[in-house]
Amino acid sequence: MKNGANAPMASLGLEKVEMAFLGALQGVFGRLDWLPLADGTIHRFHVPGDRTGSVNGWYVLFANNAPAGAFGSWKTGEAHHWSGFGKVSSDGVNQIRERIEQARRQREAEQHQRQQQAAELSHRWWKSARGAVPSHPYLQAKQVRSHSLRQRHGELLVPLYLNGVLANLQRIGANGSKRFLRGGRITSCYCPLGSISPGRRLYVCEGWATGASIHESTGSPVACAMNAGNLKPVAQALRSKYGDLVELVIAGDDDRQTPGNPGRTAAVAAALAAGALVTFPDWPDDAPPSLSDFNDLARWRIAHVC
């Protein structure tokens, strides 16, 4: 309000526009410790609660006679429009949509470039690495064989394939720390254990050690998706590739001590999406509740029998 009448927010100063827009951002994403820029270009930012270092949030803000903007998350796909007058004009919406589409295309191009660079690095590292030694601390701790893994400077290299082509590597340190190559693709990629062929049961699980335990105990091929969020994309890709020629089974983690049990939830969702069966560890009555996956169960049984 100015002199008892509504006034364009831009006339109250650029900072007022930015503060008002920040309020709208915080109403969706929570507290943010920076001030948005009203320069008409797409900016990215870290969304509270997302993975550290990620910049999934985006916004664009125009500060003219009709200040307006938009913001959202690339991760969730949500988008919100904002106007200093409470309603965005049709011209403003079209302008914002055009900027967002430009930003989306630019983001996809940059992401593809990063993934391509990571894939090229994967090939170089994989080619130059030697076979993993059975005495590696991680293999000893998980009590599994090395299978197809290779080793580079003390780190195990887990190969991740997309459509049969090496796309990324997971690096596992002696202390169990895990890192993917920066910028590398993960979605729909997996590490195969054993030979996938028609007529055989094919398991899909989260981590590599879990997959190794399943493969060693059943003899069946396994696709290790690396995390719960990738179970569904991997399962769907395998179903699309093999159809009904394989019996697809999601071997889920059972995160009993985590609210919402994300492992079980993701496994069931993947099974439903891919038309697959689903299985979870069958916990003995005296097994501690801290155990959550098939590798945990296999190691507990070894210790329990001994």
What's the whole-number mean pLDDT along residues 121-137?
A: 97
Q: In this predicted model, which residue has the larger pLDDT, 142 or 108? A: 142
The per-residue DSSP string of 169-230 comes to EEEE-TT--EEEPTT---TT-BEEES---TTSEEEEESSHHHHHHHHHHH---EEE-SSGGG
Mean pLDDT of all residues in 166-183: 96
Whether 127 is in a domain gets the answer: no
Q: Region of 122 please: left (phi>0), alpha (psi -120 to 50) or beta.
A: alpha
CA distance 3 to 300: 75
Predicted pLDDT at 86: 61
Write down the pLDDT at residue 8. Answer: 40
Would 103 be classed as within a structural domain? no
Find the angle CA(145)-CA(146)-CA(147) to the nearest 5 degrees.
95
Is the pLDDT assigned to residue 69 strictly greater than 90?
no
Average pLDDT, integer, range 245-249: 97
Pairing label, strands 277-279, 247-251? parallel
User: What pLDDT sits at residue 74?
Assistant: 84
Percentage above 70 pLDDT, the chain:
92
Residue at which a domain ends, from 88, 120, 139: 88
What number is the average pLDDT over the span 29-37? 94
Q: How far apart are CA 303 and CA 24, in angstroms?
A: 55
Domain that holds residue 38: 9-88
141: exposed, middle or buried (C-beta count within 10 Å: 0-12, 13-18, 19+)? middle
Provide the pLDDT confidence category of residue 282 given band limits of 50, 70 and 90.
very high
Is there a domain that residue 147 lies in?
no
Torsion sign across C-alpha atoms 115, 117, 121, 124:
positive
Predicted model pTM? 0.76
Q: Give the integer Cα–Cα distance in Å for 141 and 129.
A: 22
Q: What does the pLDDT read at residue 279?
A: 98
The reply to whether 303 and 195 lie within a common domain is yes
Place of tokens 């920040």: 22
Residue 279: inside a domain: yes
For 34-51, give one letter per residue: b (16+ CB within 10 A) or e.
Answer: eebebeeebbebbbeeee
CATH number at residue 295: 3.40.1360.10
Query: Does residue 301 have a pLDDT over 60?
Result: yes
pLDDT at 76: 87
When divided into structural domains, the chain yields a total of 2
pLDDT band at 306 (very low <50, low <70, confident <90, very high): low
CA distances to 151, 196, 261, 278 from 247, rounded to whole Å, are 32, 11, 25, 11
Query: Which pLDDT belongs to residue 42?
Result: 84
Specify if 1 maps to a domain: no
Average pLDDT over residues 185-206: 96
pLDDT at position 3: 31
Position 144 in a domain = no
Within a domain: residue 141?
A: no
Both 190 and 297 in a single domain?
A: yes
Q: What mean pLDDT comes out for the span 139-150?
A: 97
Q: Starting at the edge strand that comes first in sequence, how are the strands of the sheet with 247-251 ordered?
A: 191-193, 222-224, 201-205, 247-251, 277-279
pLDDT per position as a tens digit, 2-12: 333 333 443 44
pLDDT score, position 184: 96
State which of 43, 73, 88 marks the end of a domain. 88
Q: Which of 88, 117, 132 is the last residue of a domain?
A: 88
What's the longest Cα–Cα distance across the chain?
84
Q: How far apart are the first and last CA of the chain?
A: 78
**Residue 102 has what pLDDT?**
77
Same domain, 81 and 192: no
pLDDT band at 16 (very low <50, low <70, confident <90, very high): confident
Q: Looking at residue 52, what is its pLDDT?
A: 84
- For residue 27, tell me if it sits in a domain: yes
Give the residue-averaged pLDDT of 246-272: 96
Looking at 51-65, 111-125, 244-258, which range is the least confident one?
51-65
